[in-house]
Structure formats: structure tokens, C-alpha cells
Amino acid sequence: MKSSGRALRLSIFIGESDHWHHKPLYAEIVHRAHKAGLAGATVIRGVEGYGAASRIHTTHLFRLSEDLPLLIIIADAEERIRGFLPQLDELDLSGLVALDEVETIHYTQPERKHAHWWSTSS
């Protein structure tokens, strides 16, 4: 089964070394999104990138970087995403936040009863 609709995608670009109260900033954002009941959040670690300071961060073997780019993506209904934005204001972000309207397709499997290998039925 599938359903489709419109949503707002929130993309947050930060650095791996960004912290909030001695905790990784990405973890704080994900936990706040979860607590706010948003549909889901994903953190993607980049292998190379640069931001406003134009300093390249990379995973190249001979250039060890501890500040790789991170992208946090959250998609949900527009009012829910916009309601979440004040949470980001509290975190003193140093990065880019982008909002864009997206069309979503949600796939779900119908609930089925099936035997599992751990089942004890004969």
C-alpha cells in the first residue's frame, strides 16, 4: 500500500565537531525532533565538503578531519516543521538550514500473520 502527499523537508547542515552542552549537536537535534513527534530524522555523514568559511573538510587518508560535514534531514507536515524551528533557534547553530516543499510517497506493508523461525508451533 502507498499514500502520497505534500510535506516540508528540513535540511540542517552542520559540522561533526559541533556540540551543545558537551553533547554532539546532531544528537541533540535528533532527540528534540523525536520528542516533538516529527515523522523521522536521519543524520548523514559527508566524506567531503566546505561551508561559509571555505575550509574543505575531508576523509582523505593523509588529511584526518574531525569535523566532517553532517546533514540532518527531517520531513513532515509544514506546520509541524515550522513549529519545530524555534527549537533550532535555542541551539546557537553555526550552519545552514534549508526548507523545501517535497512530494512524499509513504509505502506500508499490510499487517500479515506469518510464522517465524522462532515460533514453537508444529
pLDDT per residue as tens, the chain (122 positions):
888 899 999 999 998 889 999 999 999 999 999 999 999 999 999 887 777 666 666 665 555 556 788 999 999 999 999 999 999 999 988 889 999 999 998 888 887 666 555 555 54
Classify residue 41 by burial, with Cβ atoms within 10 Å: 0-12, 13-18, 19+: buried
pTM for this entry: 0.79
CATH number of 2-101: 3.30.70.120
Provide the residue ranges of all domains of the chain, joining segments of one domain with +: 2-101
Of the candidates 14, 27, 12, the one whose C-alpha atom is nearest the C-alpha of residue 94 is: 14
